[in-house]
Amino acid sequence: MLRRSLSRLCAGEEKRVGTRTVVVGHRPVSDTEAYVAQKFCDNRIVSSKYTLWNFLPKNLFEQFRRIANFYFLIIFLVQVIVDTPTSPVTSGLPLFFVITVTAIKQGYEDWLRHRADNEVNKSNVFVVENAKQVRKESEKIKVGDIVEVKADETFPCDLIFLASSSIDGTCYVTTASLDGESNFKTHYAVRDTTVLCTDEAIDTLTATIECEQPQPDLYKFVGRIIIYRSNQEPVARSLGPENLLLKGATLKNTKKIYGVAVYTGMETKMALNYQGKSQKRSAVEKSINAFLIVYLCILLGKATVCTTLKYVWQSNPFNDEPWYNEKTKKERETFKVLRMFTDFLSFMVLFNFIIPVSMYVTVEMQKFLGSFFISWDKEMYDEEMQEGALVNTSDLNEELGQVEYVFTDKTGTLTENSMEFIECCIDGHKYKDCISEVDGFSQTDGPLKYYGKAEKSREELFLRALCLCHTVQIKEADQVDGLMAHPERKCTYISSSPDEIALVKGAEKYQLLHVLNFDPVRRRMSVIVRTTTGKLLLFCKGADSSIFPRVQQEEIQQTKVHVDRNAMDGYRTLCVAFKELTQKEYDKIDRQLNEAKMALQDREEKMAKVFDDTEADMHLIGATAVEDRLQEQLAETIEALHAAGMKVWVLTGDKMETAKSTCYACRLFQTSTELLELTARTVGESERKEDRLHELLLEYHKKLIQDVPKNRGGLKRSWTLSQEYGLIIDGSTLSLILNPSQDSGSSNYKSIFLQICLKCTAVLCCRMAPLQKAQIVRMVKNTKGSPITLAIGDGANDVSMILEAHVGIGIKGKEGRQASRNSDYAVPKFKHLRKLLLAHGHLYYVRIAHLVQYFFYKNLCFILPQFLYQFFCGFSQQPLYDAAYLTMYNICFTSLPILAYSLLEQHISIDTLTSDPQLYMKVSDNAMLQWRPFLYWTFLGAFEGLVFFFGVYFLFQNSSLEDNGKVFGNWTFGTIVFTVLVFTVTLKLALDTRFWTWMNHFVIWGSLAFYVFFSFFWGGVIWPFLKQQRMYFVFAHMLTSVSTWLAIILLIFISLFPEILLIVLKNIKEKNHQAGPFDLPVLVSYKRIENGYVKTEDAVTNLAERYPLRIP
């Protein structure tokens, strides 16, 4: 009862309580007791969103949650129910088109997810039943089944490791798909079941497993197995993460293993880790919603004005009920308020096309099709990796052009994650290899250069420590038919750490007694071994910060000098220590370790305490230095990001000295940069560290903010001060800032710290835990102005910040693909970030911003004449355009040109965008979707709408437009207005196009030709399904008038004249001020760059004047 209550109260996987009991092989423990199988979920993985049965209702529900779709549904229903001036088809057909296209796109994406799920769920696995292997589909595995997995196969569910083909009961796995680590990890079978390595033997096992309920932490598992033997007492053995084989991991270097399923399907750790990924939305969507509200208000205003004026007009009895149109009895008796409401709805329907419903589907198509250009980019293809860029989310393309903060990992992202042994020191004496090889102590490498020399016994001890204190295994090449072409054996090193492969060369015959595994908290690992002479030794290696406090203090100084120098050179360092144990000490340690391993409660804490006690009073032997090379073009890329107005923060788990050296090498910190430190070294370890932290924060705040004069003129991105500052902070100090103690009275730590960070040109956060990386990103993301953040990393420890940032970029590195799978975009190298942001991001933003503004503009041009027409038809709700034109305006006549523009336009060449990062700032802060450019487009649409209507109106002052005296009617009037409208908005787009391709020519001139052809065809045939043939021969008859031809050409020119004039004046201004051979087209919505800052309130200026380029 208590457990049920807790389960209800504690929602979320991390708060699961209780344990589960698993019967191995479904064999009951006792013949006398009835076996009741527990119910667990099946082994199906479901990542899809829809099924065949719920796709239609669920997809429709989600689509109609979008405000524009819901609005058009209401309009459609009003047209069906109420007697409105236009047919329901006019709004129903565009809505149906939008809903159908979106449903097809989402259905296709979900079908891909179904296909991926089926590949996993329908894959074949082998389950041991009645001492035989039975082939089953993966989805049919049940908790308690004994599963056999062979080399290079993926584990189908979470298994407790029982036995393997290895005599010692070990196996090696890679968990790249889970935590990003591509290195080999060693797992251990239960001690008492290692001998059960055949189908017949494993089928004799009678046991139960008690373990915790499923939870998402990949590195935690607590349980125990109770093995029952006939005529013997049951044996209990502890189970930990080393006994658990996770779904998604792959078996390596081991022929086969047997395991029992404990977690299946959506309860596996892999599935629990993939749940709850939030949907990211771009800033453009928010701008669209804001503009929609404005146009909705315009629509309501138009409908209200027309409804009011209609009843003012009808207050005159003659206007209300003329002699030729008397009201029926029903019309006279209708309640006036109801009539007014019906009229209001009718006007809403008449003007509803001002809301561009087809814009949503065009935006979706633009994002989906546009994302292929990133994948197809040959410059972002890596020959060595044989892979290019990958787009996981096409919804954020335009966000790539708005990034203000870049958060990057160091190892594997800024560096190659390819380790080379550089040097070592033993008792303060330096040993450096002549040739830089990963196998540092190879006799074939030539002699070692040494500066002074340690005692031979200490050298041997140091080498033994490196040879023994590791998890490296040797994988031998398979022999074919017992013979090999070469007698020498080919071996491959495999390890859980890339550093270890760079250090290990050989090993002696030692008996391994215990391994005290590495973990991020201890930052060290140890082994206890017995030599051939029976001596017991503990060897330990780890970070200097974790080793130095545990060795004799007088031994530290001589090694610390080398460690600090190596760190300043950017090398990764490890310290090596040892300790000799007596038999009595070892027995005590062995007993404590076994007791801690058997604990079901607080096992990790108990193990950590034993490790802590064991790794004390050691003797320091020396240290190693391993180099992790910087990625190519790293410094140039970071300089380009800085020049583009972006701030780069490095978030790493590495030590401060190494990270700082890397930051200097990649030019994140310049030699002139003044560094501000908030680390354990500056804050101190005393009880007053919070007070000291407060003092430092106030001091830095005064230096960066209070003593600096405020900028004037509304400058944006003005973080570059006359003196550049860089901030360095470590994980422990960040914890103090983000989580101050209750009695410290320091609740404002966070705000002061944030203000300091925002004023620094670069920030280095070292010794960061993965959760802290996400906290930093969230803190900046939630600051005033909501700056767009980008996080880039290559390992599983970067996934949290990648998911937290607005845009997540994964590097396809050596630490697996977890980061690239959870990212929005994946690139092979950090250098590709330059083109991705400066070229693709810039262009995507300009294209989609122009698309959004253009859609609102052309719909205002479309509906304003309809509104003005009501003043000349007694507000009778008479449509100006034919129903076919109303329906096809947004679907056929004007849709393809803007789609082609939004996919292909390059107002500035890609080479120019990449070579001049300053251009990126011209579209920063959502510049082209601010209110100023929106009002410009709105006034332009209003001006052109007035020209269309009143130009044709004045033409019709002489209603006889032909020599024979025939009079044109209202449908001719509307058709002339519509013809001028279609040609004007299409030619406006042609004027805006600066990068012409055959496709642009085809869709622009083809759309105009299609409109002319359709108008002839629509009016040239008597359609049997139409009640009224009001457009019959109207278009053809209209074009027989010379006055009509002249009016159409003249009105198109007058409408476009302000735009043409603006372009001419800008070109003249540019030529007068041009400073070099660099002709740069300028967009109306661009922002001005002045003195390195972006000034939002100024008009457009020529960028070449400020930043001349020399292009041969």
Q: How far apart, in whole angstroms, are the C-alpha atoms of residue 1041 and residue 964?
A: 11
Relative to beta strand 807-811, strand 235-239 is: unpaired
Q: How far apart, in whole angstroms, are the C-alpha atoms of residue 183 and residue 736?
A: 34
Q: Are 204 and 844 in contact (CB under 8 A)?
A: no
3-state secondary structure of 635: helix
Start-to-end C-alpha separation, the chain: 80
Active-site entry in 158, 395, 409, 544:
409
Q: How far is CA 992 from CA 809, 839, 906, in A?
A: 32, 19, 11
Backbone angles phi, psi at 378, to 5 degrees: -70, -30
Backbone angles phi, psi at 1021, to 5 degrees: -125, 140
Relative to beta strand 256-263, strand 146-150 is: antiparallel
> Residue 183 CB: number of other CB atoms within 10 A?
20
Q: Are 496 and 183 in contact (CB under 8 A)?
A: yes
What is the helix (H) or strand (E) element at residue 448, kind and residue range?
Answer: strand 448-451
Render 169-229 in DSSP notation, one character per residue.
Answer: -EEEEEEHHHHSEEEEEEEE--GGGTT--SHHHHTT--EEEEEEPP-S-TT---EEEEE--
Q: Are 822 and 814 in contact (CB under 8 A)?
A: no
Q: How far is CA 597 from CA 148, 218, 222, 470, in A?
A: 26, 18, 9, 21
Q: What radius of gyration do the chain's Cα atoms show?
A: 37
Q: How far apart, in whole angstroms, are the C-alpha atoms of residue 919 and residue 911?
A: 12
Q: CB within 8 A of 629, min separation 6: which ones?
A: 415, 416, 418, 420
Hey, what are 60's tokens?
A: 């429709």
Q: Which of 1083, 1072, 1080, 1076 is nearest to 1108 (CA)?
A: 1076
Contacts 24+ apart (CB under 8 A), 80-83: 82/342, 82/345, 82/346, 82/349, 83/342, 83/346
Hey, what are 967's tokens?
A: 């009079």
Q: CB within 8 A of 350, min separation 6: which ones?
A: 84, 85, 86, 866, 877, 879
Q: How far apart, in whole angstroms, are the C-alpha atoms of residue 1022 and residue 1035?
A: 14
Active site residue 1079: no
Q: How many CA atoms lie within 13 A of 989 on its CB side?
A: 33
Apex CA 587: angle with CA 582 and CA 590, to 5°?
125
Q: How far apart, in whole angstroms, are the C-alpha atoms of residue 1043 and residue 1038?
A: 10
Q: How far apart, in whole angstroms, are the C-alpha atoms of residue 22 and residue 210?
A: 6
> Residue 378 CB: number of other CB atoms within 10 A?
6
Q: Which residue has the tokens 């230096």?
A: 703
Q: How far apart, in whole angstroms, are the C-alpha atoms of residue 372 and residue 179?
A: 28
Hey, what are 1's tokens?
A: 């009862």
Hey, what are 152's tokens?
A: 């290079």
The catalytic residues are 409
